[in-house]
Chain A
Amino acid sequence: MIDAFQRSAEAVGATIKRFISVTEGVSYIRDLAAGAPISASFLPQEIREAFTETSFAHPDDAADARLCVSFAKAGIAATGSLLLELADPRERGATALPLLHAVFVKGSTIVADLYALHEIIACELNSPKSAYLSLTTGPSRTADIERVLTIGVHGPKELHVLVLEGV
């Protein structure tokens, strides 16, 4: 499943890295940011804690961050997509504004296709709370000028997916 996910995601211009431990992923992200401000959307405890030396940018300054770190609830092998839960508009802004977006996803949460996500999406939508789910596939793109594919329009120009294997 992870192999298929990797193939699909790379085909749409995402960079895939496979890690055994969260700390490896964290140091990869630090290298990517190269000292520039990092913002974050929701991260599970164990990942947030691994960013020991990083202080994330204040959510209101997301527009100034170079990179945003996120965590995906699931992935889709057929298309290389990631499912992000982004009900907080500030977290959403954080994922949409910077040039680089790095997303952790657990290998075990990668499913075959869009339809296999039905239950997990339905569950979010059926809860009484408001919801904003974002299925992200590769970096932002356009072909609006002469149909020439250009990567990086209003959203991130690079999408790095950090697959955590074994979990």
Chain B
Amino acid sequence: MGRATIKKKIHDTFLRRALKNFAAAYPVARAKAFEGIDFEGLRGRISDTKKAGLKELPELVSRFKSRAEQAGATVHVCATPEDANRTILGIIREKGADFLIKSKAMTSEEIELNPYLEKKGIRCLETDLGEWIIQLAGERPSHMVMPAIHKNKEEVAELFSRATGHECPPDIPSLVWTAREALRSGFLTGQVGLSGANAAMADTGTLAIITNEGNGRLVTTLPRTHIALVGVEKIVPSLTEALDVISVLPKNATGQKITSYVSFIKGPTGEGRELHIVLLDNGRLKLAADPDFSEALKCVKCGACANVCPIYEIVGGHVFGHIYVGGIGLVLTPFFHGFDKAEDILKLCIGCKKCNEVCAAKIDIEGLIVDLRDRIRKPVGQKFLFGTMMKNRRLFHATLRTLYLAQKPFQSAGGRIRHLPLILDSETKFRTLPPIAEKPFRDIVAERPGTGDQGPGTRKSNSKLKTQNSKLEKVLFYTGCLADFVYPDMCRDAKESLEKLGYEVIFPQEQTCCGIPARYSGEMAVAKDMARINTDVLLAEEANYVATICPTCTMSLKHDFQKLLEGDEAFREKARKLADKVFNFSELAARKIGNEGQWPEIGSMAVRDVVTYHDACHLKRGCGVHEEPRKVLRELAGVEIREMADCDKCCGFGGSYSIKYPEISQEVLKNKLENIKASGAQTVAVDCPGCKLQTEGGLEAAGSSVKVEHSATLVARRLRQTK
């Protein structure tokens, strides 16, 4: 994606305001629409039936075709966009028509039908208000459900003035009325109407179409020929499954309980009328059979994945997507439009998993995006970084140590890095950076035998401690690189807290990077190697738990390793065994609440510090952990929590993302900082070293005195105070 385009969108004030307002309004409306409805149950059903349908998609297609034809429709199965375009042109020509009226169909955008037909002398008129606006503007939709969300009323007024030949004031109700009047003659004179469909039922050959404006009903009613252009993945077995789609779609799309109109159309209705159903394949049948990516076709095109995406909120759909936008747009683009179109946009996802949480079809959108990166071209230099360096722990750690010296010239008083040299600087000054520590945690542990174990091989020197601790639950401490090399104090705090809570804590020296940076960069083979190394290291010693203080590592060890090593006979079982032991710091700490006698009564504390809590994406959505951290803060750290708005929204870090796309990262961060400020708390508690790095850097650069602390630090601090 061109840097210039990204910057242009970031600086488009109307777009930014529109998307920000929508991002704020959407969750409220959505929650209201789903009141009293079991969303998880509903989307679970949709996911299951869609998944089953994809397995037998060719059969579903032929069943639908024969039933629809029995009902009097003509069904055309088109393999490619060219095929579909040609077929539609043929139908229009056969009717002797030269004018097509259209209601909304993303499939029509997909095959670029309008430009094709216009070239052949067929006039096309979009009648959905949003589609008409962008047709007049010569653009493409920036949202699947609200195509013209990027246009303001002034722009619309200008477009309408030009189209109608008379001055249209930028007043929304009057603009809508203008559209009604201007398009009315189109409806009455259109010879052929084209629509999409939201579901197609194989048992009866029926189409279901969901609309709000009423144009869909006119397009399928007034012209004597109706063409429906439908992706084959829209076929469901029967009405039962279609009702689930109809139920979920408007609620998830815009927070409407149901749209104004839901039409069920079976066969041509009325004398001399024709219904042509153009079933579009365009890679779908192949994708349906793909063992890794078929899941993407479960999508019902509700657009919710864009609605909640923090990156979409900053750059909009013209950047975050191709023709299909939002998270699923990133996934579908390579299959529908080619990898060349997808290469750049696939990198734009920050990996926050917010989309997964709301997806109407329960698709692991983020996981598919990450997996697809494995198939795209890699930048030069990446091969050495991941291929050689990451796999060699000693080299990797030695390099990190060297960086400690290299950064010295850039450190200012207080040790933080405020300016980076040359080009990097202007893009990165939105936050200051913590330096790499003089001594990583691993060295501190190694130098102080007796205060903590050094892991396998050094255990003999600790035999006394061992007998003492034999009754304690044993925890292997996996710090993650960022905490180890940048925040050794955070590691120490976590270790001390866990020990104080009654665990025996051991730091295995052989542990190395969890492999996430490699995986996010599409280096799947390297990520697998890292998974194998760490699995062996962490299983080498019998222990009850593996504790992490970085949610990305937790997620990686607990979930990703299993996925990565699924196909590896020798490691499959081991990865599963490891996964069962891995827990985030707060989970292990929370287990001991109320179990230990030496903690002072919280009730006895006169004044509690007020903190606000930021949920790390990978802890909340990656591991499903969000209650334990709050419990730990309240009951062990003894603080009061004052929740901020959007506490679980991404901070914009995303590891190397913030270096690759600093302009986007800082905008996401800005939103977070606003919410922190509005909470009034003087401390932000986090459970992630990455979130700490990003938010404290941003706060410091903005001159704020608000501090960011890992929960482990807040717990340890209280522990020291009360000792």
The residues of A with any CB-CB pair to B shorter than 8 Å are 8, 12, 63, 78-79, 81, 87-90, 92-93, 95-97, 114-115, 118, 121-122, 124-126, 129-148, 150, 152-156
The residues of B with any CB-CB pair to A shorter than 8 Å are 18, 21-22, 25, 71-72, 127-130, 133, 146-149, 151-153, 156, 172-173, 175-177, 179-180, 183-184, 187-188, 201, 204, 206, 212-215, 217-218, 220-222, 239-240, 243, 246-247, 254, 257-270, 273
A45 to chain B, nearest CB (A): 23
CB atoms of B146 and A154 under 8 A apart:
no
With a cutoff of 8 Å between Cβ atoms, the chain B residues found around residue A140 in the complex are: 212-214, 260-261
In-complex Cβ contact of B22 among A129, A145, A147 (8 A): A147
In-complex Cβ contact of A146 among B153, B177, B246 (8 A): B153
With a cutoff of 8 Å between Cβ atoms, the chain B residues found around residue A130 in the complex are: 71-72, 266-269
Rounded to whole angstroms, the CA-CA distance of A141 and B214 in the bound complex is 8
In-complex Cβ contact of A142 among B21, B187, B212, B261 (8 A): B212
With a cutoff of 8 Å between Cβ atoms, the chain B residues found around residue A146 in the complex are: 18, 152-153, 172
Contact of A141 with B213 at beta-carbon distance under 8 Å, contacts A89-B269, A130-B71, A154-B187 already known: yes
CB atoms of B239 and A122 under 8 A apart:
yes
CB atoms of B218 and A96 under 8 A apart:
yes
CB atoms of A142 and B129 under 8 A apart:
yes
Rounded to whole angstroms, the CA-CA distance of A133 and B220 in the bound complex is 12
In-complex Cβ contact of A156 among B214, B220, B243 (8 A): B214
In-complex Cβ contact of B175 among A63, A132, A139, A145 (8 A): A145
With a cutoff of 8 Å between Cβ atoms, the chain B residues found around residue A136 in the complex are: 260-261
With a cutoff of 8 Å between Cβ atoms, the chain B residues found around residue A129 in the complex are: 267
CB atoms of A121 and B264 under 8 A apart:
yes
A-B contacts, 21 listed (Cβ < 8 Å): A63-B188, A89-B221, A89-B269, A89-B270, A92-B217, A92-B221, A97-B218, A114-B258, A131-B266, A134-B217, A134-B263, A140-B261, A145-B133, A147-B21, A147-B22, A147-B146, A150-B173, A152-B177, A153-B214, A154-B180, A154-B215
Query: Quick one: which of B127, B187, B201, B246 has the most chain A CB within 10 A?
Result: B187
Rounded to whole angstroms, the CA-CA distance of A87 and B151 in the bound complex is 38
With a cutoff of 8 Å between Cβ atoms, the chain A residues found around residue B71 in the complex are: 130
CB atoms of B217 and A137 under 8 A apart:
no
Rounded to whole angstroms, the CA-CA distance of A139 and B129 in the bound complex is 16
CB atoms of A135 and B261 under 8 A apart:
yes
A47 to chain B, nearest CB (A): 22
Contact of A144 with B273 at beta-carbon distance under 8 Å, contacts A97-B218, A132-B265 already known: no
With a cutoff of 8 Å between Cβ atoms, the chain B residues found around residue A126 in the complex are: 204
With a cutoff of 8 Å between Cβ atoms, the chain B residues found around residue A147 in the complex are: 18, 21-22, 25, 146, 149
Contact of A139 with B261 at beta-carbon distance under 8 Å, contacts A130-B267, A155-B213 already known: no
In-complex Cβ contact of A114 among B129, B149, B153, B246 (8 A): B246
Rounded to whole angstroms, the CA-CA distance of A110 and B155 in the bound complex is 44
With a cutoff of 8 Å between Cβ atoms, the chain B residues found around residue A143 in the complex are: 146, 254
CB atoms of B258 and A155 under 8 A apart:
no
Residue pairs across A and B with CB atoms within 8 Å: the count is: 167
CB atoms of A144 and B146 under 8 A apart:
yes
CB atoms of B133 and A134 under 8 A apart:
no
B427 to chain A, nearest CB (A): 32
B590 to chain A, nearest CB (A): 39
CB atoms of B262 and A135 under 8 A apart:
yes
With a cutoff of 8 Å between Cβ atoms, the chain A residues found around residue B177 in the complex are: 152
With a cutoff of 8 Å between Cβ atoms, the chain B residues found around residue A144 in the complex are: 128-130, 133, 146-148, 213
What 5 pairs between A and B have smallest CB-CB spacing? A155-B214, A130-B267, A140-B214, A144-B130, A153-B213
Q: Can you name the residue of chain A whose Cβ is closest to the Cβ of B103?
A: A154
Rounded to whole angstroms, the CA-CA distance of A122 and B266 in the bound complex is 11
With a cutoff of 8 Å between Cβ atoms, the chain A residues found around residue B180 in the complex are: 152-154
Rounded to whole angstroms, the CA-CA distance of A156 and B213 in the bound complex is 9
Contact of A145 with B172 at beta-carbon distance under 8 Å, contacts A125-B201, A132-B269, A140-B213 already known: yes
**Other A-B pairs, 11, CB within 8 Å; known A12-B257, A141-B260, A143-B146:** A81-B262, A114-B247, A122-B239, A125-B264, A130-B267, A134-B263, A134-B264, A136-B261, A146-B18, A153-B214, A154-B213
With a cutoff of 8 Å between Cβ atoms, the chain A residues found around residue B222 in the complex are: 89, 93
CB atoms of B247 and A132 under 8 A apart:
no
Rounded to whole angstroms, the CA-CA distance of A86 and B608 in the bound complex is 66
CB atoms of A125 and B239 under 8 A apart:
yes
Query: Quick one: which of A92, A96, A142, A147 has the most chain B CB within 10 A?
Result: A142
Rounded to whole angstroms, the CA-CA distance of A126 and B239 in the bound complex is 10
B90 to chain A, nearest CB (A): 23
With a cutoff of 8 Å between Cβ atoms, the chain A residues found around residue B217 in the complex are: 92, 95-96, 134, 155
Rounded to whole angstroms, the CA-CA distance of A56 and B217 in the bound complex is 22
With a cutoff of 8 Å between Cβ atoms, the chain A residues found around residue B25 in the complex are: 147
CB atoms of B247 and A133 under 8 A apart:
no
CB atoms of A115 and B243 under 8 A apart:
yes
Contact of A93 with B221 at beta-carbon distance under 8 Å, contacts A141-B260, A146-B172, A155-B214 already known: yes
With a cutoff of 8 Å between Cβ atoms, the chain A residues found around residue B206 in the complex are: 125, 131
CB atoms of A131 and B269 under 8 A apart:
yes
Rounded to whole angstroms, the CA-CA distance of A154 and B186 in the bound complex is 11
With a cutoff of 8 Å between Cβ atoms, the chain A residues found around residue B175 in the complex are: 145
Rounded to whole angstroms, the CA-CA distance of A139 and B212 in the bound complex is 9
CB atoms of A142 and B176 under 8 A apart:
yes
CB atoms of A141 and B212 under 8 A apart:
yes
B87 to chain A, nearest CB (A): 22
Contact of A131 with B267 at beta-carbon distance under 8 Å, contacts A92-B221, A114-B247, A136-B261 already known: yes
With a cutoff of 8 Å between Cβ atoms, the chain B residues found around residue A135 in the complex are: 258, 261-264
Contact of A145 with B266 at beta-carbon distance under 8 Å, contacts A152-B176, A153-B214 already known: no
CB atoms of A114 and B261 under 8 A apart:
no
B694 to chain A, nearest CB (A): 30
With a cutoff of 8 Å between Cβ atoms, the chain B residues found around residue A93 in the complex are: 218, 221-222
Contact of A125 with B266 at beta-carbon distance under 8 Å, contacts A118-B243, A136-B261, A138-B260 already known: yes
B598 to chain A, nearest CB (A): 55
In-complex Cβ contact of B156 among A114, A124, A145 (8 A): A145
With a cutoff of 8 Å between Cβ atoms, the chain B residues found around residue A142 in the complex are: 129-130, 176, 212-213
Query: Quick one: which of A8, A144, A150 has the most chain B CB within 10 A?
Result: A144
Q: Can you name the residue of chain A whose Cβ is closest to the Cβ of B73?
A: A130
With a cutoff of 8 Å between Cβ atoms, the chain A residues found around residue B151 in the complex are: 145
B341 to chain A, nearest CB (A): 26
With a cutoff of 8 Å between Cβ atoms, the chain B residues found around residue A8 in the complex are: 257
In-complex Cβ contact of B269 among A81, A87, A121, A139 (8 A): A87
Rounded to whole angstroms, the CA-CA distance of A139 and B146 in the bound complex is 19
A1 to chain B, nearest CB (A): 16
A89 to chain B, nearest CB (A): 4
CB atoms of A137 and B258 under 8 A apart:
yes
With a cutoff of 8 Å between Cβ atoms, the chain B residues found around residue A156 in the complex are: 214
Rounded to whole angstroms, the CA-CA distance of A129 and B264 in the bound complex is 13
Q: Can you name the residue of chain A whose Cβ is closest to the Cβ of B156?
A: A145
Rounded to whole angstroms, the CA-CA distance of A126 and B67 in the bound complex is 11
A111 to chain B, nearest CB (A): 13
A149 to chain B, nearest CB (A): 9
CB atoms of A139 and B246 under 8 A apart:
no
A145 to chain B, nearest CB (A): 5
Q: Can you name the residue of chain A whose Cβ is closest to the Cβ of B273?
A: A89
